[in-house]
Amino acid sequence: MKTILFKLKNFLSRNREVTSDFQFPIRYKLLLITSIVLLFSMSGVIFLASYFFRKDSEVRVKENNIKINEILSLKVKSDLHSIRQDVHITASAIFRNNQSANQIAKELFEEDQNFVFIGAYDSGFNAKFEAVNEDFLQKYDYQKSEVKSILKNIQPKLKKSFSGTTVIWNISPHFRNPILCISFPLSETKDTHTILVTLVKLDTLLDAFQTSGPVETFLVSEDGSVLAHPDAKVVLSGINLNDLAIVDRMKKSTVDNGQFRYENKDGEFYLAAFKKLGFGGVGVISQVREVKIFEEVNNIQKRNVYLLIISLSLSFIVVYIFAKSLSTPILKLVDASEEIRRGNFHINLHATTHDEIGTLTKSFVSMGRGLEEREKLKDSFGKFVNQEIAELAAKGKLSIGGKRKYCTIFFSDIRSFTAISEKLQPEEVVEFLNLYMTEMVKCVQETGGTVDKFIGDAIMATWGALRDHKEHAKASVETALSMREKLIEFNKTRGTVKKPIIKIGCGINTGYVIAGQIGSSDKMEYTVIGDSVNLASRVESFNKETHTDILITETTYQEVKSEFHVVSMGEIEFKGKSKAQKVYAVLGKKSDPNAPKNLSELQKLVGIEIAAKKAKR
What are the sequence ranges of the domains in the chain? 57-293, 388-616
* Cα dihedral: 103, 106, 108, 113 (round 10): 170
Distance CA 171, CA 440 (A): 65
Superfamily of domain 388-616: Nucleotide cyclase, GGDEF domain (3.30.70.1230)
Q: Length of the chain, please? A: 617
Residue type, 422: E
pLDDT at 61: 81
Distance CA 111, CA 107 (A): 6
- Is there a contact between 509 and 552 (Cβ–Cβ < 8 Å)? yes
The model's confidence at residue 332, banded by pLDDT at 50, 70 and 90, is confident
Which residue, among 532, 410, 411, has the nearest Cα to 474 in the 3D structure? 410
Q: Write the CB contacts of 396 (distance below 8 Å, at least 6 apart in sequence).
A: none
Which residue, among 358, 362, 357, has the nearest Cα to 347 in the 3D structure? 362
Instruction: Report whether pLDDT(188) > 50.
Output: yes
Q: Write out the E strands in 457-542.
A: 458-463, 504-519, 524-529
- Is there a contact between 608 and 585 (Cβ–Cβ < 8 Å)? no
Task: Look at domain 57-293 and name its CATH class.
Answer: alpha beta
pLDDT at 319: 65
Across 4-8, 153-157, 330-334, 439-443, the highest mean pLDDT is recorded for 439-443
Instruction: Report whether pLDDT(289) > 90.
Output: no
Instruction: Report whether pLDDT(382) > 50.
Output: no
DSSP character at residue 221: -
Percent of the chain scored above 70 by pLDDT? 82
Which residue, among 326, 310, 288, 128, has the nearest Cα to 211 in the 3D structure? 288
The model's confidence at residue 238, banded by pLDDT at 50, 70 and 90, is confident
The region that residue 588 occupies, defined by phi over 0 for left and psi between -120 and 50 for alpha, beta otherwise, is left
Question: What average pLDDT does the segment 205-218 reach?
Answer: 80
> Is this model's pTM higher than 0.85 or not?
no
